[in-house]
Structures are given as C-alpha cells and as structure tokens.
Chain A
Amino acid sequence: MDQKLKYIGKYIPIHDAKEKVSGKIVYVGDMELHGMLHAKLVLSPIAHGRIKHINISKAEALPGVIAVFNYKNSPEILYNAHKWIEGIEVIRDERLFTSHVRFFGDRIAAVVAESKEIAEKAANLIEVEYEELPVILDPEIAKKADSYPIHPDGNHFFSKEIKCGNPDEKMKEGFLTIEDRIETPKTHHAAMETHACIADTDQIGNITVYTPCQVIFQVQLIVSEALKIPRNKIRVIKTTTGGSFGGKGQPILEPIAAFLSYTLKRPVKLVLDRTEEIIATRTRTKTIGTVQTAVDKEGNIIARDIHMLVDAGAYTTNGEAIAVAMGKKTFKLYRIYDQRYVAEAVYTNTLIAGACRGYGSPQIHSVTEINLDNVAKALHMDPVEFRLKNLVHPYDKDPTGGPELGNARIIDCVKKGRELFEWDKKYSRPKQAGRYARGVGMACGAHGNGYFGAYPDFITLSLRINEEGTAVLKGAFHDVGCGTNMTMMQIVAEVLDLDVSKIYIPATDTLVSPFDSAGTQASRVTFVCGGAAKKVAEQVRAKLIAYGAKVLDCMEADVVLEDGYVWDCNSIDLKISYGELAVITQKRYSEEMGATMTYQSPGNPTSYGAHFVEVEVDTMTGRVKILAYLAVHDLGKAINSGFVEGQIQGAVQMGIGMALSEEITFDSKGKVTAGRFSRYHVINAPDMPEVQVELIERLEDLGPFGAKSIGEAATVPTAPAIINAINHALDVNLTVLPALPDRIMDAIKSKTKERV
C-alpha cells in the first residue's frame, strides 16, 4: 500500500518554512496597527492577600498614559478560561483584575499607554497596599480541612474515583506489593514566543482579537463571557504561533486585551516578557502520587491502587479535567482488571496550572512507571520482561468501559526497542566501579486521540476546488508549529491526487472558518481533524469522478484522477484539469466542485510509546549525562515522517527537563525564585542527546490513513525512563522530580548510610 502513497508518509517542510527562515513571518508581537496602544500588566508581588489600597494617580499622571484599569473599573464577572465549549460545567473563579490576590503573579491592574516604554514606566508607579493572608504552598497542607481557604469553599475542590474490578480484595492476594510516593514538579511551557495578543475595536463595538491561540472558538467564548458581549460581536483570528505546548490553550490575555480595546476603542497590544510568561500564564500541574502495585510470583500485576493529589495552583482552570484525564490513562496501558484510581484536587497559593503537553499523562506515568521498575526490581525481573508480561494487546477493551484501545501496539514498541537499544546487553552489564555510574532505563506511555467518549468531538470543513485547479480547505486548524496545516494538506493532496503546493488553508478565523468543537487539544488534530480532511476530500473526489464521467461521457469507473487532471482511461488524449472540470461543472450543472461536511470523531484509540535511555551519573556531583536515547512509538501511520521525528525529539527535550532540570520554585512566602531563564533551566543543545526515533506503523482502523496522535504521546515516557535509568545506575529510588544534582546526591548518601 505504501508505495502507492504519493504524499502521505513523506517529509514535506512545514507550510510556512520559507517565511520562517527568512524572518518574514509575522507573529502577533510583530504586528502594528494604526493608532495602536500598548498595555502592561501589574502583577501581585505577594502570594496571598487583599488589596487595602491602590494608588494609580502617579501612573495616570505620566504623559502618554491613556488609562489604568484594576478591580474598581473592570468587569467583576467570574469565568474559567478552561471552558472551551458551551455546555461543560466549570468552577468560575477568575476575573480580569482581582482585589484578592492568590499567588505571586496574580493580575492586579493594566496600564494602557502610547508606547510600551511608557506603559512599563507607569506600571511601576502603581502603589498597592495589601492585607497579607496566610500562604499555602504545599498541596498536602492545602488538602487539610482546616487549611486557610484560598477560595470561599475551601481548598479541596474536587475528588474523583475510577475503578474496575475489586482492587481491595485482590490487593491482599499479592505475592508482593510495592508502594511508592512520587512528586512531579510545576514546570513552565517555555514556548519561545511569550503570550501576546492584539485586540481592535471598531466604532460600533465589534472586537477583533489577534492571538496565537489553540482554539479560536474558545477565545470567542471566554471573551464573550468575561465581558458580557455577544459572541457575534467578537472575531478571533489566530496568528502564527511561536510554540504553545498547551500554554496558549486557555485564553489568558485575550479577554484583557479585548476589554482594554473595547473600552478605549483603539487597538491595544499586550505582550508578556519572560518573567510574566513564567509566573502569570499557566504551568504544568504539580502532582503527588502514591501507588501500590500487587503482583504474583510470576510477575503478573494483579491489582493496583493509585492516589493522585493535584495541585491546581491558585485557580481552578482545568484542575478537575486533568485529574480525570490522568486516571483514564492508567487503565489503558497494562492488563490490570482490579484497579482503583483516586484523584483529589486542591488550591495552593502558587502559579496556576493548566494544560501542558500530555495533559497529565507525563505526571501519572512518572508515578506508575517508576513504581513498576521498583516492582520489577523486587521480583528480580528485568523491567522489560516484566512489562511485556503485563502490557495490553491490540484491540483489548478498556476495563472501565472507556473507548476501545484500537490497534494498540505497545508490545511491538517494547520488543523493537529492546532489540535496537541492545537492552539485554546493556541492562545486565556488570557495574563498573569508579566515579561515573552507568545505567539504563525504560518506560512506557499511553495517550489518547481526542475527546470521543468524554466531550463533543467534531469539526466542520469546507473544501473547494476553484477555477484555477487549486484547492482551498477551510477549517479551524491551529498550527502551533507542529505542522498541522501541512498534515491536512498532505491528506487532501493524497485523496485528490493534487500536488500539495496547490492546496491552500486560509487563516483560522471565527468569521471564515467553520465551527470546530475543540481546537488543538487532547491530541485530536491528526486523528479527528485529519480524519475530517480525508472525508471531505473523499467527497470532493467523488464529485470529480461523478462530474468527470458526465463531462467526459464515460463510466465513473473509467475516470482517472491524477496529478490535477481528469480523463477517461479509454481515451488518454483528452485530459482536462480539475480547474477546467470545476468551471464546466459550474456552468453546466450549477454545482461547485466542493463539499462542506461535519465529521464526528469515530473513536478514541490509544497512542503508545516506549523510551529507552542510557545515562551516566557523576556520583561525586550528581550530574547526569544522557548517553543514548531511543524513542519507539506506535502512531499507526506517520502522515509526515519529518514532523513526527521532530515532534518526538522536541518532546524528549521537554521530558528531559521534567526529569532533570525544570522546576518552578518558590521561597517560603510564595515568591517565585525561578522566574527567569537564568534560574529556570531549559535543556540546551550541549546537554541534549541525539534522539533516535523508531516508528511502529501498524495502521489504526479509525485514523486517517491509519494515523494516530504523536505530539503529546511522545513526551509521556521520557521522565520516568530517565529516572529509572538513574535508579538503575545508582541502585537508589528517586522519588522527587526533577532529579536535581542535590537530590541525586542525597539519594546516594542515604543509600551509603543504609549500608553502614
């Protein structure tokens, strides 16, 4: 089948590569509108308190300042930026500017001025007096009933249990039960483009918002809710996005910029600097997981009990959704028929959590996969062998009744990885004495494909072949840099047999793009939107054939479509282009060569991956060097092989950060101590290993050309694989991520003590 594919599977550069390498591409921060004003936020310098007094007079007096807004002169409406579609229940607790600050970085005010320099100066002149309140940084303290409430209803705002079988009973039957408690850190998305937004309002109050977002219709909804303005007065245009990773999923600046522009009737630009980006947007949810796994003598997992404490930070946002999402993953990777997952979510006076690449999967898998290595160790079993005994098989059912797993090929991933990585040899290699200790580790991961089974998951697309023979695909696609547009173009090109360069996707715009239920979220784009692109292209293809037959006066079965031309296979001399056929069809039959349709996601199979890593740990200083890295993924089919490889390599970079270096830290009063890149270490080129990528391309029945998701799935196994490798190298049990040098040294030292 593969040989016949012309576009699917190839590496074709991202659609805007040329504009990007030449510096011509325009991000929202590069845009200038006539008469544009500049806004600067004022953020809370304390972690918890009430504003007693705010003095804006000095700021207002500065020449060039247009206006200053704070809780006194802005809407009091509460909203939850996580809500992306009407009909889902959310806790509303966020407002534009607050008088009750709940974390270091909470929004107090915004200054609007003629230039960004003036806005910055004025922001610095605002004086605020606070009544300080008790600060809670530790989620375990927040969980206690008597902890000082950050929100009126207390700090423990959500709990959820998901269960299959009878874990309590089965747990007792275990030959061996291993318990671990593992902490994962709050981390920063670190997209290189910080959050930025422009809003413009015309004389009759129509607002246009330009934003590098992940869901235009969510932006429209949130702006509408926060400002109480009808949706049809709000137009959202997605701009070129300089990375997002979930960070730009929730509208943060959009309602503010819209409010400022709407009030002042001028275009307003709001761009965050890196410190604001770190503290005042969203973070990866911190979690504390406890897990107990019971196995029999042969190494079959017989029961598991998982408890996750979710630290949502100062506001709810997706705290409930992520707690549930994490749980679902735990039933899709191993054949465990007696299992309980319990999650509890709490507020703390720390940075707000949100979606971050993997949506909880990297956290939950860190907890469970590190634990499984400890189980294997206790059983004196090779961790690969142990996993192979327990992993799910293709077409297994979800024991909780969730969406079916589909063509689940995790076993193939592990077997392939074991062979390519020379796992058996490396794992059993005798330990060398000396300063540098080597070890290998691996971990598996599972991630979904969309919202099917949980939330509405559909997209409407419109595809038309125009008179020139080029095709226009309209849809709410949000390419955040991972090649969504080209992926769609390749799918359409393949179905229509039309060169990709002839397929055009217009800007994503609520005024132009047909409705899409969820945007770039939940790893749904390739699977759902790609499925839709394939379907709509098939409809257009059917039209090309039907009208081709009429025009060529032949049987439909004899119509050939190739490279933008149509002909009758019995008379190859007469070839007409798709454009000509479209013109004739319009003229003769009053029909256009296009189709519009709504596609419902057909399922939610699981994407899998297994990562293998070899590390060398300096036992004197606790520094870790990654010597070799292999990522094997079951993604059904790579639509664009280059993008897939790039996604995996980038995802591993992020996962290494979670394992080794990235952590947002606070002082005892809740002030962020890692609010800059000099203190928040993103892995740079010298420390980044060459990531070898291997794909298991066993087609998924429900996916377009067999494809499943990869971008999020790829970051799931990284952190636990690395921690397992360090644990293997040192024979320790690290339980707090990231494994910073001092944590590694503490682990080494406590082990030495144990021995004495």
Chain B
Amino acid sequence: MLLEFDVNGIKRKLDVDPEMRLIDILRDKLGLKGTKEGCGEGECGACTVIIDSVAVNSCLVLAIQARDKQIITIEGLEKDGELDLLQKTFINQGAVQCGYCTPGMLMSCKALLMQNTNPTEKEIRLAISGNLCRCTGYTKIIRAVREAVETGGMQNG
C-alpha cells in the first residue's frame, strides 16, 4: 500500500504493509527510532507523536490514518542542530533519567504548548496523564514545562 505523508517537514512516499501502525512505519521503515513502544495499547504514551498539531499515540494509529498528514516526531523537534526550548528545559530541570519516556513526554508537552502558551499546572498534568514515567515522579517534568513557558514568554515579549 502506498502511503504519502509529511514527517518532520519531509514529504514521504512509502510502500507500507497495511497492517502496520504508524509506530511501525516510523521505526522500521523510516528508522526514526526515537519514538518508543512501552505498551502498545495507548496507556503509556512512549509512542506519542504530533499529528496535525495534536498529540496522538502512534501505537494506535493505522498507516492509512496518517495519509496526507503532517507528523512531527521527537527527531523533528531539533531545528538546525539547535534543541527546541522544551528539550533544553528538560535537561536544565533534570526531567530526564532513563530517557525512555522522554520522547513521548516531550511530544505531549510540545503539543500542549502549541495549543496553550500559558498552561496551568493542572493543565500540564492532564496533558501528560497518558504519559507514564517511572523514574522522575513527574515533578521535574512539570517544572521543565513551566520553565519553557516562562522563558518562551520572555523570548516572545
């Protein structure tokens, strides 16, 4: 089956197996291994990517559903060798330990900030309710999002 879509700003045309999920295509066909599979049932969020500006579990999306869509994966956050602000604040705040939840967590947080430039703490927590992290207890992740909001706001202002 032929699939046309845009991944991280690059137009792709691929022949894919129709049973494949988006996560399989990203990892196995495109070699974008930053997207992780932690459960395969929508519960852990390790597979989160952004499709047309919203966060989605790529383990629950069939190949066909990605057609003509714009997809951003963790590999697409960095621009011209420069980390995205959120990636930097994750490092600054110590929001990364084992790193396995990190790509999905970052994509959920990025999607949140794309829609809401000034989320409350509760909104941040809800935005990542579908992203499990076993290492950090979430506190530093929430702080990282706050720092991005604050510095991001300063940069704009």
- List A residues at the B interface (Cβ < 8 Å): 11, 13-14, 16-27, 29-30, 117, 189-194, 240-245, 273-274, 480-483, 642-643, 645-646, 648-654, 676-678, 682, 684-686, 688, 690-691
Contact = CB atoms under 8 A, between A and B. Distances in A.
A14 B124 CA distance: 24
B99 A685 contact: no
Contacts of B41: 274, 676-678
Query: How large, as a class, is the contact surface on chain B?
Result: 35 or more
Task: Give chain A's interface secondary structure class.
Answer: loop
15 contacts: A13-B96, A17-B99, A20-B99, A21-B83, A22-B87, A23-B73, A29-B37, A191-B98, A192-B134, A193-B36, A482-B135, A642-B140, A646-B140, A649-B138, A649-B140
B5 interface: no
Given A13-B96, A274-B38, A18 B132 contact: no
Interface string B53-83: 0000000000000000000011101100001
Contacts of B103: 23
Contact of A30 (B33, B77, B83, B141): B33
Nearest to A21: B87
Given A21-B90, A21-B91, A685 B138 contact: yes
B129 A652 contact: no
B139 interface: yes
A649 B131 CA distance: 16
Contacts, number: 177
Contacts of A192: 36, 38, 44, 46, 98, 100-101, 132-135
B128 interface: yes
Of B130, B137, B138, most buried by chain A (CB within 10 Å of CB) is B137
Given A274-B38, A686-B125, A690-B139, A190 B132 contact: yes
A440 B22 CA distance: 47
Nearest to B75: A23
Given A18-B91, A192-B132, A194-B38, A691 B139 contact: yes
A642 B134 contact: no
The 10 lowest CB-CB distance pairs between A and B, nearest first, are A23-B34, A481-B98, A242-B100, A649-B137, A20-B99, A23-B74, A677-B43, A192-B100, A642-B94, A30-B33
A22 B34 contact: yes
Nearest to B137: A649
Contact of A14 (B44, B97, B101): B97
Contacts of A676: 39, 41, 43
B133 to A, nearest CB: 7
Interface in B98-157: 98-103, 106, 122, 124-126, 128-142
Contacts of A24: 34, 75
A22 B83 contact: yes
Of A18, A22, A652, A685, most buried by chain B (CB within 10 Å of CB) is A685
B98 A193 contact: yes
A23 B39 contact: no
Contacts of A194: 38
Contact of A17 (B44, B96, B125): B96
Contacts of B27: 30
Nearest to B27: A30
B131 A243 contact: no
Contacts of A481: 97-100, 135
A649 B32 CA distance: 31
Nearest to B73: A23
A26 B87 contact: no
B45 to A, nearest CB: 9
Contacts of B77: 22-23
A507 to B, nearest CB: 16
Contacts of A649: 136-140
B38 A193 contact: yes
A243 B91 contact: no
A650 B135 contact: yes
B99 A25 contact: yes
Of A11, A23, A26, most buried by chain B (CB within 10 Å of CB) is A23
Given A192-B36, A241-B98, A274-B38, 16 more contacts: A13-B96, A21-B96, A21-B102, A23-B34, A29-B37, A192-B44, A243-B97, A244-B98, A481-B98, A646-B136, A650-B137, A652-B137, A676-B43, A677-B43, A686-B122, A686-B129
Given A18-B83, A24-B34, A688-B137, A677 B44 contact: yes
B64 to A, nearest CB: 18
A686 B120 CA distance: 12
Contacts of B140: 642, 645-646, 649
Contact of A243 (B43, B98, B106, B130): B98
A273 B100 CA distance: 15
Of B38, B132, B139, B140, most buried by chain A (CB within 10 Å of CB) is B139
A374 B102 CA distance: 42
B135 to A, nearest CB: 5
A183 B18 CA distance: 48
Nearest to A23: B34
Given A677-B39, A686-B126, A23 B100 contact: no
B75 A20 contact: no
A126 B19 CA distance: 22
Of B102, B129, B138, most buried by chain A (CB within 10 Å of CB) is B138
B97 A650 contact: yes
A456 to B, nearest CB: 28
Contacts of B91: 13, 17-18, 21
Nearest to A479: B98
Contacts of B130: 684
Contacts of A27: 36, 100
A63 to B, nearest CB: 15
Interface string B23-37: 000010000111111
Contacts of B132: 190, 192, 677, 682, 684
Contact of B94 (A242, A645, A682): A645
Nearest to A19: B99
A482 B100 CA distance: 12
A400 B4 CA distance: 70
Nearest to A116: B28
A243 B135 contact: yes
A272 B137 CA distance: 24
B51 to A, nearest CB: 17
A685 B125 contact: yes
Nearest to A12: B94
Contacts of B33: 23, 26, 30
Nearest to A649: B137
Contacts of B138: 649, 653, 684-685, 688
Of B78, B87, B97, B129, most buried by chain A (CB within 10 Å of CB) is B97
Contacts of A242: 36, 98-100
A688 B141 CA distance: 12
B129 to A, nearest CB: 5
Of B46, B98, B139, B142, most buried by chain A (CB within 10 Å of CB) is B98
A650 B44 contact: no
A714 to B, nearest CB: 10
A645 B96 CA distance: 12
A481 B44 CA distance: 18
B97 A23 contact: no
B15 to A, nearest CB: 16
Nearest to B107: A23
A685 B140 CA distance: 11
Contacts of B96: 13-14, 17, 20-21
Contacts of A22: 34, 74-75, 77-78, 83, 87
Contacts of A243: 97-98, 100, 134-135
Nearest to B87: A21
A23 B58 CA distance: 15
B134 to A, nearest CB: 5
A244 B91 CA distance: 21
A678 B43 CA distance: 6
Contacts of A650: 97, 133-137
A190 B94 CA distance: 20
Nearest to A243: B98
Contacts of A678: 41, 43
